[in-house]
Amino acid sequence: MSTTKVLIIEDDDVTALNLKMSLEKFGYEVLSLANEEVSAQNKIKIYNPDIVLIDIGLKRHDGGIEVANFIREKMPRPFIFLTAHSDSEILTKAKQTEPFGYIVKPFDPLNLHTTIQMALYRFEEEKKRMVNVDVLKMDKEHLEKLLYAKKLSTQPIVEFGDGYRHDISLGETFYKDQKIKLTKKENAFIHLLIAQLGSVVDFSQATDYVWGEEGASDNSVRTLVWRLRNKLPTDVIKNASGIGYYLEE
């Protein structure tokens, strides 16, 4: 079994050293340390780590969030935030980058190890769900065929998650018989996720189907998902790191 390679991005020298020592005791290989955004991004490119630990703040208020966005957009891999922040604005921004976990400082070494293992497992599971974007063409006709293939035999209903159902004929989503109020774009995205239930909807498919000729960025999709998650009663939308999203079946 190969050694897991870790990059630590932390601007407090004492914390960085403690992290390095703790990780090495658990058998991880610490590739390098970085203490600000530019060196962090360069070292991610150079060392190609299996997982990255990122202090949210770094040298400025939200420098770690910028590094997380770089990982998401340029070099997808699991990353975990290190935080001592209770600032709700910072934490809200951090959530939108969709980290694979949080470690609160001062950290517990065993909790650190467990969080890393869970993040690595999640990342591998997400990779298994990746689909070839050339195979799935999300035009409306194909989408409807996919949707109706997943419906209950006698009703235009698709069930997903634990307690959710989507009425294809009405274009509405319910949780335990309560209708969830969604915007037009939110509903379109749910529609798309349900059509590919069990597979990943990538960013390109999402922007093409939800925004059409209007166009949108990957961050537009992330913001849409963030709003959706705030409306849905449970965490039923899952991340496929740097690729897109899928629904819990």
Pair (98, 148) in one structural domain:
no
DSSP 69: H
Q: How many residues does the chain have?
A: 249
Domain count, the chain: 2
Q: How far is CA 200 from CA 5, 80, 145, 231, in A?
A: 27, 22, 17, 21
Pair (179, 238) in one structural domain:
yes
- Phi/psi of residue 160, nearest 5 degrees: -155, 165
pLDDT in tens, the chain (249 residues): 579 999 999 999 999 999 999 999 999 999 999 998 889 999 999 999 999 999 988 866 678 899 999 998 888 899 999 987 666 677 788 888 889 999 988 899 999 999 999 999 988 877 776 544 444 444 555 666 666 666 656 778 888 888 998 888 788 899 998 999 999 999 889 988 888 887 888 888 888 888 887 878 888 999 999 999 999 999 999 988 778 899 887
Pair (185, 224) in one structural domain:
yes
Pair (110, 164) in one structural domain:
no
Indicate the residue among 62, 95, 128 that finishes a domain: 128
Say what the pTM is.
0.61
For residue 108, what are the domain limits? 5-128
